[in-house]
C-alpha cells in the first residue's frame, strides 16, 4: 500500500506541474471566435465602407494574412499587387485571361495557379502550381461581394484607382443623399452618418485604414483638426495602420456633407478625445 | 488437436480477410448494393424513376443550427466526449501496442530457448488483458456520447462509414476472441508445434488490432481531410476513397509508432511499481529486467517518432497550408513550447534511467565520466527546443528589447535550430544506449579499435553535417527553404543509428563479460524515472490530441460540415491542459489500480 500511495503522489505531482506550467507558464492567447455569417447591407454602403469591409475580410475571415505577411514569407506581400498586376500579366508564365488589374486580382483569388510569383509555388512544380486555395470554396468560402470588397481594399492599399463596383442590385447610396439626411444630434451619430469609422478608430468604431483618432486631441490642435476635415490633404499624418499615410486617401467633400454646427461638434469632439 | 488448432488459425485468417474486404476494396459491397437498390427502386415505376434521377444517392453534409445540438442539464457535451475519447484512446493505444512487442518477445524467447522472455511476455499480456475491458467500456461511452450530443454529425458519418463501422464491430469480436485464446492458451500452446500455433494467433491478434485502429483512424482523418465526397459533402459512393483520405497513412504510421512507445512506457511503469513493492532479490531482479526491456521498447520507438511526426505535419501543410499554419504558427504555436518541455522530460528520464542502470555492471565505471557531457548536451538541446521565437511582452518590454525577437535567443526559436537540437538529442540518447550496451562487455574482435574509430568518425561527421545544414538553411536561405534541412538532418541521424548499431553488433559478437550483470542493483529513484516517462507520455498524447482536433477549428468535417454548436470555439491552451490533466489523473488512477490488481492476483497464501 505504501508503494501504491507513493507512486500515486508522484504521478499527481507530475501532472499538476504540467497543468500549472501550461496554464500559467506560457501566455494564454484566446483564439478568435468562429467567423459568423454576416448579412451585408451593400445597398447602404459607401465605397469607403466597402473598402473597410475588404480590410476586415482580408485580415479576418479570409485568413489571407496567415500566409501573405512580411514575417512568414510563405506568400508574397500584397501591398502593391494592384499596381504590379499588369506586369505579372505580361510575364511569359502567366496562364490567365485577365485584362485589367481588377480581373487579375479576382483571378488570383479564384484560380491561384494562373500566375505564381517566383519562389512561392508548390515545391517541385517549378512555380507552376500555387499552394493557395480557391477562396470561394472550402474553409474560407468568400462570396462574390466579399471577394470584390477584398479587391477594392487591395486596390486602395496599392494607391491605385478603385475600379471595382459594389455588387448589389441597387447602387451604393449617393453620398449627397447621405448629406441630406437628418442633422446629427451627437458626435456618435455624426461619425456614423459620415462613415468615419470605415477608416478611422473613432467613437467606438474601429477602422484601420486611417490614423487612430481616439486620442487625437492630445496631439493636435483645434485648427489643425478643422482643416483636416475640410481639406484632408492640407496636412498628411505620417503613419497609418497599414503603412505611411498618402494624400488623396480621404474624400475632400465632407464639407458638403455636414452643416457648420455638425462640423464644430465633430471638431470639439476630437479636441476632447484625449 | 493439431487439426483443431490449424482450423482455428485458418478461421481467424479467413474471418479477418472477409471482414476487411468490404472496406479495403475500391467500392465497398455495401455501397454497390446501395447503388443497386437505388437502381431497382428507380425502375419500379416511372414516377419513382424521375424522383430517383433528381434525388442524389447520398445527402449533402447538413447545415446545423445551434438548436440541433441536444443539451443535457449538468453536462457539457464537448467535455464528456473529450474525456471519453481521450481515455478510450489511451487504453486502446496500450492494448494495441502490447501484443506487438509481446509477440516479438515471445518469438525471441522461442528462438533463444530462454524461458525468461516467455514469462515476461506473458506478464505483459496479462496487464493488457485487464485494460482491454476498460478500453471497450470507454469506447462504448464515447459512441453513446457522440450519438447523444452530436446526433446529426453521427448520422452524416454513419451514412459514409456505415459499412466500416459494422466491420469494426465484427473485428472487435475477432480481436477479443484472438486475445482470449492467445492469453488463456499461453500454457496450453507452449511447446513444439503448438508454440507456432500460439505465435500465429498472436500474429492474427496484431493484424486484427491494427486493422481496427486503421479503421478508426480513417474516421478521424476524414474529419480533417475529407475524401470521397464533393464540396457539399455528398458521398460519391467510393468507401475506399473516404477511408484512404489524404492524412490517413501519416496518422496510421504516427499512431502505430507512438502506440509502441506508449505501451512500452506503461508496462515500464508496471515493472517499476512491482520493483518498488518487491520483497525478494529475485523479484527485484526480474522486474528490473522487465523495466529495462520496457524502457528499451519505449525509447526504440520514441527515436523515430519525431520523424513520423514531421511527415504528418508536412502532409498537413501539403493538404491545406491554412491548416498547417494554424497548427504551427497560430494560436497553437505556444503549445509546441509545452511539447518541448514534455519531450525534454521524456528524453531526460529515459537517459537518466539508462545512466542509473550502469550500476548493474562493474564494467560501466569506465564510461561514467562521459555521462556528465552527454547530460550537458541533452539539456542544451532541450533548451534550444524550448526557446520560443516570438516573445509575448508589454509595450515597455518590447521597446526595451527593440522588437518581439530576442537578439541572441531569437534565432534559436526557428524550426531549423529546433530540428538541429532534436536530432542531436536523439543521437546523444543513442550514444547513452550504446555506452550502456557495451558497459559490461569487452570486444574480442581484432578490428575493435578501428570499429570504435569508425563509430566516432560517423558520429562526428553526422553532427557536423546536422549543425551545418541547420545553420545554412536556417540563416542563409529564404523562409520558404528553411525547413529544407529537415530531411537530410533526419537522414544523417538514421544513418548514424543504423550504421553504428551494425558495427556494434558485429564488434561485440562473442565479447567477454566483465562480470555477471547484477539485475536489481539500481536505485529506487530510477524507477520513478520510468513513472515520469509514462505520465509524461500520457499527458503529451492528451495535449497532441487537443491540437490534432483543434486545427479543424469550427468544422466537424473540415470545409464540409460546420460545427455550429455553442462549443465550436477553440479553447485556450490552459483550459485544454486542465481537461487533459483531469483525464490523465483518471487514467493513471485506473492504471495504478490495474497494477495493484495484478500484484494481488499473483500473491499466494
pLDDT, one tens digit per residue, over A162-184 is 898 887 654 444 444 444 446 77
Mean pLDDT in residue range A98-106: 92
Whether residue A69 is contained in a domain is answered as yes
What is the predicted pLDDT for the residue at A176? Answer: 42
**Cell numbers found for residue B204:** 492474427
Residue B276's DSSP bridge partners are none
Q: Which domain holds residue A229?
A: 175-271
Minimal CA separation from B325 to chain A, in Å:
7
What is the predicted pLDDT for the residue at B33? Answer: 42
Whether residue B496 is contained in a domain is answered as yes
Minimal CA separation from A3 to chain B, in Å:
6
In percent, how much of chain A has pLDDT > 70? 87
Minimal CA separation from A178 to chain B, in Å:
37
Of the residues A110, A131, A157, which one is the last residue of a structural domain?
A157
Q: Which domain holds residue B439?
A: 362-513
Whether residue A64 is contained in a domain is answered as yes
Inter-chain CB proximity A3 and B276 less than 8 Å = yes
Contacts of B344 in chain A (CB under 8 A): none
Are B325 and A73 in contact, with CB atoms under 8 Å apart? no
Minimal CA separation from A65 to chain B, in Å:
10
pTM: 0.74
- At residue B37, does pLDDT exceed 50? no
Q: In chain B, how many domains are there?
A: 1
Which residue is listed with cell 479543424? B552
Inter-chain CB proximity B480 and A34 less than 8 Å = no
Whether residue B101 is contained in a domain is answered as no
Contacts of B504-508 with CB under 8 Å at 24 or more apart are B504/B434, B504/B437, B504/B438, B504/B451, B504/B455, B506/B445, B506/B451, B507/B443, B507/B445, B507/B447, B507/B448, B507/B451, B507/B452, B508/B437, B508/B438, B508/B441, B508/B443
Q: Which of A6, A18, A34 is closest, CB to CB, to B577?
A: A18
Does A182 share its domain with A144?
no
Mean pLDDT in residue range B84-113: 93
Does A99 share its domain with A142?
yes
- At residue B54, does pLDDT exceed 80? no
Whether residue A12 is contained in a domain is answered as no
Regarding predicted confidence, which is higher, A99 or B11?
Answer: A99
Which residue is listed with cell 443497386? B36
Mean pLDDT in residue range A195-215: 77
Whether residue A153 is contained in a domain is answered as yes
Q: In chain A, how many domains are there?
A: 2
What is the predicted pLDDT for the residue at A245? Answer: 73
Inter-chain CB proximity B325 and A72 less than 8 Å = yes
Mean pLDDT in residue range A52-77: 82
**What are the tens digits of pLDDT across the range B350-398?**
999 999 988 888 888 888 889 999 999 999 998 988 887 766 556 566 6
**A35-49, A74-88, B92-106: range with lowest mean pLDDT:** A35-49
**A124-138, A156-170, B103-117, B314-328: range with lowest mean pLDDT:** A156-170
What is the predicted pLDDT for the residue at B541? Answer: 94
When the pLDDT of each residue in chain B is averaged and rounded to a whole number, the result is: 85
**What are the tens digits of pLDDT across the range B236-289?**
989 999 999 999 999 999 999 999 999 999 999 999 999 999 989 999 999 999
Whether residue B446 is contained in a domain is answered as yes
Whether residue B440 is contained in a domain is answered as yes
Whether residue A125 is contained in a domain is answered as yes
Of the residues A157, A183, A199, which one is the last residue of a structural domain?
A157
Contacts of B549 in chain A (CB under 8 A): none
Whether residue A137 is contained in a domain is answered as yes
Q: How far is CA A105 from CA A70, A72, A90, A149, A166, in A?
A: 19, 21, 14, 11, 16
Are B255 and B83 in contact, with CB atoms under 8 Å apart? no
Are A41 and A196 in contact, with CB atoms under 8 Å apart? no
Contacts of B553 in chain A (CB under 8 A): 34, 139
Contacts of B123-128 with CB under 8 Å at 24 or more apart are B123/B290, B124/B98, B124/B267, B125/B98, B125/B99, B125/B182, B125/B183, B125/B186, B126/B183, B126/B598, B127/B98, B127/B266, B127/B267, B127/B270, B127/B594, B127/B595, B127/B598, B128/B94, B128/B95, B128/B98, B128/B99, B128/B102, B128/B263
Whether residue B480 is contained in a domain is answered as yes
Contacts of A7 in chain B (CB under 8 A): 269, 272-273, 276, 531, 592
Q: Which of A14, A24, A140 is closest, CB to CB, to B532?
A: A14
What is the predicted pLDDT for the residue at B235? Answer: 92
Contacts of A8 in chain B (CB under 8 A): 588-589, 592
Does A263 share its domain with A215?
yes
Q: How confident is the model at residue B155 (pLDDT cuts 50, 70, 90)?
A: very high
What is the predicted pLDDT for the residue at B28? Answer: 39
What is the predicted pLDDT for the residue at A26? Answer: 80
Residue B229's DSSP bridge partners are B235
Inter-chain CB proximity B277 and A3 less than 8 Å = yes
In percent, how much of chain A has pLDDT > 90? 15
- At residue A115, does pLDDT exceed 80? yes
What is the predicted pLDDT for the residue at A196? Answer: 79
Q: Cα–Cα distance between B466 and B469 in angstroms, integer?
A: 5
What is the predicted pLDDT for the residue at B387? Answer: 82
Does A219 share its domain with A118?
no
DSSP string, A230-270: H-TTSS--SEETTEE--TT-S-S-GGGTS-HHHHHHHHHHH
What is the predicted pLDDT for the residue at B56? Answer: 53
Least CA distance to A30: which residue of chain B? Answer: B572
Does A182 share its domain with A228?
yes
Pick among A9, A22, A71, A109 to test the B interface (most B CBs inside 10 A): A22
Least CA distance to A75: which residue of chain B? Answer: B480
We report the CATH number of the domain holding residue A75 as: 1.10.760.10
Whether residue A14 is contained in a domain is answered as no
What is the predicted pLDDT for the residue at A147? Answer: 92
Does A46 share its domain with A137?
yes
We report the CATH number of the domain holding residue A225 as: 1.10.760
Minimal CA separation from B481 to chain A, in Å:
9
Does A151 share its domain with A109?
yes
- At residue B190, does pLDDT exceed 90? no
- At residue B522, does pLDDT exceed 70? yes
Whether residue B103 is contained in a domain is answered as no
What is the predicted pLDDT for the residue at A140? Answer: 81
**A156-160, A168-172, B221-225, B521-525: range with lowest mean pLDDT:** A168-172
Mean pLDDT in residue range B177-203: 91
Mean pLDDT in residue range A86-104: 91
Whether residue A255 is contained in a domain is answered as yes
- At residue B429, does pLDDT exceed 80? yes
Regarding predicted confidence, which is higher, A108 or A227?
Answer: A108
**A41-45, A101-105, A127-131, B416-420: range with lowest mean pLDDT:** A41-45
Q: How far is CA A258 from CA A44, B43, B174, B297, B546, in A?
A: 18, 72, 81, 78, 54
Whether residue B316 is contained in a domain is answered as no
What is the predicted pLDDT for the residue at A80? Answer: 87
Does A93 share its domain with A147?
yes
Mean pLDDT in residue range A43-67: 84
- At residue B26, does pLDDT exceed 60? no
What sign results for the dihedral spanned by CA atoms B321, B326, B329, B330? positive
What is the predicted pLDDT for the residue at A152? Answer: 92
- At residue B142, does pLDDT exceed 90? yes
Q: How confident is the model at residue A150 (pLDDT cuts 50, 70, 90)?
A: very high
**A44-48, A166-170, B495-499, B579-583: range with lowest mean pLDDT:** A166-170
Minimal CA separation from B425 to chain A, in Å:
22
What is the predicted pLDDT for the residue at A124? Answer: 77
DSSP-derived 3-state class of residue A152: helix
E strands, chain A, where? Answer: 201-202, 205-206, 239-240, 243-244
Q: Cα–Cα distance between B433 and B378 in angstroms, integer?
A: 14
DSSP-derived 3-state class of residue B436: helix
Of the residues A106, A125, A157, which one is the last residue of a structural domain?
A157
3-class SS letters over B321-341: HHHHHHHHCCHHHHHHHHHHH
Residues of A with CB under 8 A from a CB of B: 3-4, 6-8, 10-12, 14-16, 18-19, 21-24, 26-31, 33-35, 63, 66-67, 72-74, 119-120, 131-133, 137-141
Pick among B232, B343, B480 to test the A interface (most A CBs inside 10 A): B480
Whether residue B497 is contained in a domain is answered as yes
Amino acid at each position: 500500500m505504501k508503494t501504491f500511495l507513493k507512486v500515486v503522489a508522484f504521478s499527481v505531482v507530475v501532472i499538476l506541474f504540467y497543468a500549472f506550467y501550461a496554464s500559467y507558464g506560457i501566455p494564454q492567447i484566446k483564439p478568435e471566435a468562429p467567423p459568423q455569417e454576416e448579412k451585408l447591407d451593400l445597398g447602404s454602403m459607401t465605397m469607403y465602407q466597402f473598402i473597410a469591409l475588404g480590410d476586415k475580410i482580408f485580415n479576418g475571415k479570409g485568413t489571407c494574412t496567415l500566409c501573405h505577411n512580411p514575417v512568414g514569407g510563405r506568400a508574397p506581400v500584397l501591398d502593391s499587387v494592384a499596381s504590379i498586376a499588369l506586369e505579372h500579366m505580361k510575364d511569359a508564365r502567366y496562364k490567365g485571361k485577365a485584362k485589367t488589374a481588377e480581373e487579375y486580382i479576382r483571378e488570383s483569388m479564384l484560380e491561384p495557379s494562373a500566375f505564381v510569383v517566383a519562389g512561392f509555388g508548390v515545391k517541385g512544380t517549378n512555380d507552376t502550381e500555387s499552394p493557395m486555395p480557391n477562396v470561394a470554396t472550402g474553409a474560407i468560402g468568400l462570396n462574390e461581394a466579399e471577394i470584390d470588397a477584398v479587391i477594392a481594399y487591395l486596390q486602395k492599399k496599392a494607391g491605385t484607382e478603385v475600379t471595382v463596383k459594389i455588387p448589389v442590385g441597387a447602387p451604393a447610396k449617393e453620398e449627397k443623399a447621405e448629406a441630406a439626411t437628418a442633422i446629427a444630434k451627437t458626435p456618435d451619430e455624426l461619425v456614423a452618418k459620415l462613415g468615419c469609422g470605415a477608416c478611422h478608430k473613432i467613437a467606438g468604431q474601429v477602422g484601420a485604414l486611417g490614423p487612430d483618432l481616439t486620442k487625437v486631441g492630445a496631439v493636435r490642435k483645434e485648427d489643425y483638426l478643422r482643416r483636416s476635415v475640410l481639406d484632408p490633404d492640407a496636412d498628411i499624418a505620417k503613419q497609418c495602420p497599414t503603412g505611411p499615410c498618402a494624400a488623396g486617401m480621404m474624400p475632400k467633400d465632407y464639407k458638403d456633407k455636414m452643416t457648420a454646427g455638425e462640423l464644430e461638434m465633430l471638431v470639439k469632439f476630437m479636441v476632447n478625445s484625449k | 488437436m493439431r487439426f483443431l488448432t490449424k482450423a482455428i488459425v485458418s478461421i481467424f485468417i479467413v474471418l479477418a480477410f472477409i471482414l476487411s474486404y468490404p472496406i479495403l476494396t475500391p467500392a465497398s459491397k455495401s455501397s454497390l448494393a446501395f447503388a443497386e437498390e437505388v437502381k431497382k427502386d428507380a425502375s419500379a415505376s416511372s414516377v419513382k424513376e424521375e424522383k430517383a434521377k433528381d434525388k442524389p444517392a447520398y445527402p449533402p453534409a447538413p447545415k446545423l443550427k445551434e438548436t440541433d445540438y441536444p443539451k443535457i442539464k449538468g453536462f457539457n457535451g464537448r467535455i464528456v466526449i473529450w474525456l471519453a475519447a481521450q481515455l478510450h484512446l489511451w487504453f486502446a493505444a496500450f492494448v494495441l501496442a502490447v501484443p506487438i512487442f509481446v509477440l516479438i518477445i515471445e518469438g525471441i524467447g522461442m528462438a533463444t530457448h530462454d524461458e525468461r522472455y516467455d514469462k515476461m511476455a506473458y506478464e505483459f499480456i496479462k496487464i493488457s488483458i485487464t485494460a482491454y475491458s476498460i478500453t471497450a467500456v470507454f469506447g462504448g461511452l464515447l459512441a453513446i456520447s457522440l450519438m447523444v450530443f452530436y446526433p446529426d454529425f453521427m448520422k452524416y458519418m454513419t451514412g459514409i462509414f456505415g459499412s466500416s463501422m459494422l466491420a469494426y464491430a465484427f473485428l472487435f469480436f475477432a480481436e477479443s476472441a484472438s486475445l482470449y485464446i492467445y492469453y488463456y492458451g499461453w500454457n496450453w500452446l507452449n511447446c513444439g508445434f503448438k508454440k507456432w500455433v500460439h505465435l500465429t494467433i498472436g500474429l492474427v491478434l496484431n493484424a486484427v488490432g491494427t486493422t481496427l485502429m486503421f479503421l478508426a483512424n480513417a474516421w478521424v482523418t476524414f474529419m480533417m481531410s475529407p475524401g470521397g465526397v464533393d464540396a457539399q459533402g455528398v458521398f460519391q459512393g467510393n468507401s475506399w476513397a473516404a477511408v484512404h483520405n489524404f492524412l490517413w497513412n501519416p496518422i496510421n504510421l504516427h499512431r502505430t509508432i507512438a502506440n509502441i512507445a506508449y505501451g512500452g512506457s506503461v508496462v515500464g511503469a508496471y515493472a517499476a511499481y512491482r520493483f518498488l513493492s518487491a520483497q525478494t532479490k529475485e523479484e527485484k531482479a526480474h522486474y528490473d529486467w522487465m523495466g529495462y526491456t520496457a524502457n528499451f521498447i519505449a525509447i526504440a520507438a520514441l527515436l523515430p517518432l519525431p520523424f513520423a511526426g514531421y511527415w504528418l505535419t508536412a502532409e498537413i501543410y501539403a493538404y491545406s497550408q491554412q491548416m498547417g499554419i494554424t497548427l504551427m504558427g497560430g494560436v497553437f504555436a505556444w503549445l509546441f513550447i509545452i511539447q518541448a518541455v514534455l519531450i525534454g522530460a521524456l528524453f531526460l528520464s529515459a537517459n537518466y534511467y539508462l545512466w542509473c542502470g550502469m550500476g548493474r555492471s562493474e564494467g560501466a565505471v569506465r564510461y561514467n565520466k562521459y555521462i556528465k557531457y552527454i547530460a550537458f548536451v541533452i539539456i542544451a538541446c532541450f533548451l534550444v527546443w524550448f526557446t520560443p521565437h516570438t516573445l509575448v511582452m508589454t509595450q515597455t518590454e518590447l521597446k526595451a528589447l527593440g522588437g518581439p525577437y530576442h537578439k541572441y535567443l531569437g534565432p534559436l526559436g526557428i524550426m531549423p535550430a529546433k530540428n538541429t537540437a532534436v536530432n542531436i538529442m536523439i543521437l546523444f540518447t543513442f550514444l547513452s544506449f550504446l555506452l550502456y550496451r557495451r558497459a559490461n562487455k569487452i570486444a574480442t574482435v581484432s578490428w575493435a579499435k578501428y570499429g570504435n574509430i569508425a563509430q566516432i568518425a560517423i558520429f562526428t561527421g553526422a553532427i557536423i553535417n546536422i549543425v551545418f545544414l541547420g545553420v545554412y538553411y536556417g540563416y542563409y536561405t529564404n523562409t520558404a527553404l528553411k525547413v529544407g534541412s529537415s530531411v537530410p538532418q533526419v537522414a544523417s541521424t538514421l544513418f548514424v543509428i543504423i550504421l553504428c548499431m551494425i558495427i556494434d553488433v558485429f564488434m561485440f559478437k562473442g565479447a567477454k563479460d566483465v562480470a555477471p550483470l547484477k539485475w536489481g542493483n539500481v536505485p529506487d529513484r530510477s524507477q520513478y524515472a520510468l513513472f515520469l516517462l509514462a505520465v509524461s507520455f500520457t499527458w503529451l498524447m492528451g495535449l497532441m490530441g487537443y491540437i490534432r482536433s483543434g486545427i479543424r477549428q469550427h468544422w466537424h468535417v473540415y470545409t464540409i460540415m460546420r460545427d455550429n454548436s455553442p462549443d465550436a470555439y477553440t479553447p485556450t491552451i490552459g483550459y485544454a491542459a486542465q481537461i487533459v490533466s483531469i483525464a490523465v489523473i483518471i487514467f493513471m488512477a485506473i492504471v495504478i489500480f490495474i497494477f495493484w490488481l495484478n500484484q494481488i492476483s499473483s500473491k499466494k497464501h
